[in-house]
Amino acid sequence: MKIVIHGLLFDEVAAAVRELGAPAFRAKQLWHWLYVQRAAAWDAMKNLPADLRQKLAEKFELEAVRQLEITGVEGETRKILAGLRDGECVEEVLLPSGDRRTVCISSQVGCKFACAFCASGQAGFRRNLSAGEIVGEVLLAAAAWNDRPGNLVFMGVGEPLDNYDEVLRAIRILNHAEGLAIGARRMTLSTCGVIPGIQRLANEGLQIELSVSLHAPDDATRAQLMPVNRRYPLAEVLAVCRAYAEKTKRLITFEYTLVRGVNDSAAQAGELVRLLAPLPARVNLIPLSPVEGYAGEPSAPETARQFIRALERAGLNATLRDSQGSRLKAACGQLRIRHL
Ligand code: SAH
C-alpha cells in the first residue's frame, strides 16, 4: 500500500519533495493544498507541475479515510462512519455550537480496555490508527463542514494514550501553523488513565487539554467499571494528573458517567470532592448512554441534579453534559457496532 501523505510531518513532506527532485518551495505549496485547500485529488493541485503531481500520486495515498455514512443534518450533531483502506471502520462526531466546530475523533479500531458500559471495548481491539488516518478523520469533518474544525477531542473509539506515537504525530500535523493550525489548547485528549502516557504527554511541551475518565471515587467501584484501574489505581492516576497540571498550567477535566445505584450516591459525591480537592480540576458529568450488553441504567434526573449540586456547593466546577449524543448514538463505539 502507498504511504499516506497525511501521516507525514512538514519536514518529512519537504524531504519527500526534495527526493522527487523538486525545489523546496514546492513543499509549502503541497502542504497548503493538503491542509488549507484540502484538495481531494492530486490533479486539483494546479500550481504544482504535472510531473511532480504524477510522481506524488505514484508514491502517496491522498484518501486513506473515506466517508461511508453520515447521520443527521447540517448544523446539528452528526456522526460519520469512516472507512479505512483495509476494510476496517471507525466513527467520528461533528459537534457544531454557534460558530464553534468541534470534531470528536477515534484513535484506534476497537479498544483493549473494556470499560463496562462502553460499546467500543465490546467488539474487542483490532488495530491502532496511523497518524495519517487520524488526520484523515479531521479532513473528513472539514469536508462535511466545508471549513476547518477549530476544536478537536480524542473521545471517539479507542484509548489515545495506548497509541501514543501515532496520536502525537497526528497532533503535531494538525497543529502546524501553516496547515489546519488547530491550537494545542483546543485539543482535548481523553484517557482512561494510562499513567505512562500522561507522564510522556506532560513533557511534550504542548498544552493539550487532558480529560481523564474517572467514573468512580474509590478503587473498588472504579475497578468494577474500568478494569484498567487494577493496573493504574486512582491515587496514582491522580498524582500524575497533578504533575500534568503543574507542568502544563492547565486544568484537568474528569469525566464521570452517572450510573444509577453504582456511582451516584451523595456519599460518593462527597468522596469525589475530597479526592479532587488537591487538583486544579473540573468535572464533566455524563448521563449513561444505554448500550446493549451492559445492564446498568442512567441515574434518575433528580439524582444527577443532586450530584452536581453537591459538587458545586463544595466549589468544584462541574457540568452535566446533555445527552444529545445518546439520541444520535454518539456514545463511544455505538455506530461502529451497529455497522459490524
Ligand atoms: N478511551 C478514552 C476515550 C474514549 S471514550 C477514555 O476512556 O477516556 C470518551 C468518554 O465516553 C469516556 O469518558 C467514556 O468512559 C465515556 N463513555 C463510553 N461509553 C459511554 C456510555 N455508554 N455512556 C456514557 N459515557 C460513555
Q: Taking the chain (340 residues) in consecutive chunks of 10 residues, what is each chunk's mean pLDDT?
A: 97 98 98 98 97 98 97 93 96 93 96 94 92 98 97 96 98 98 97 98 96 98 98 98 96 96 98 96 93 93 96 95 52 54
The finding on whether 213 has its CB within 6 A of some atom of ligand 1 is yes
Residue 215 CA, closest ligand 1 atom number:
15
The finding on whether 328 has its CB within 6 A of some atom of ligand 1 is no
The finding on whether 115 has its CB within 6 A of some atom of ligand 1 is yes
The answer to whether the pTM exceeds 0.85 is yes
pLDDT of residue 282: 96
For 146, other C-beta atoms within 10 Å of its C-beta total 8
Which three cell numbers, joined as nine digits, stand for 298? 442512567
Cβ(82)–Cβ(136) under 8 Å? Answer: yes
Going by CA atoms, what residue is nearest to atom 9 of ligand 1? Answer: 155
Which residue numbers are catalytic? 91, 332
The finding on whether 162 has its CB within 6 A of some atom of ligand 1 is no
pLDDT of residue 329: 46
The finding on whether 331 has its CB within 6 A of some atom of ligand 1 is yes
CATH for 3-61?
A: 1.10.150.530
* Cα–ligand 1 centroid distance for 255 (angstroms): 8
Residues of the chain with CATH 1.10.150.530: 3-61
Report CA Rg, the chain: 21
CATH class of 65-328: alpha beta
* Cα–ligand 1 centroid distance for 217 (angstroms): 16
**For 210-234, b where at least 16 C-beta lie within 10 A, e where not — what string?**
bbbbbbbbeeebbbebbbbbeebeb
pLDDT of residue 120: 87
How many residues belong to the chain? 340
Cβ(193)–Cβ(229) under 8 Å? Answer: yes
Q: Spell out where the chain has E strands.
A: 3-4, 60-61, 65-70, 78-84, 89-97, 100-104, 108-110, 125-128, 151-154, 187-191, 209-213, 252-258, 281-287, 317-320
Distance, CA of 30 to CA of 229 (rounded, Å): 45
- pLDDT (tens digit per residue) in 42-101: 999 999 999 999 999 999 999 999 999 999 998 999 999 999 999 999 999 999 999 999
* Cα–ligand 1 centroid distance for 29 (angstroms): 39
Residue 226 CA, closest ligand 1 atom number:
15
The finding on whether 337 has its CB within 6 A of some atom of ligand 1 is no
* Cα–ligand 1 centroid distance for 78 (angstroms): 18
Closest by CA to 29, choosing from 42, 45, 43, 15, is: 45
- pLDDT (tens digit per residue) in 166-202: 999 999 999 999 999 999 999 999 999 999 999 999 9
Residues of the chain with CATH 3.20.20.70: 65-328
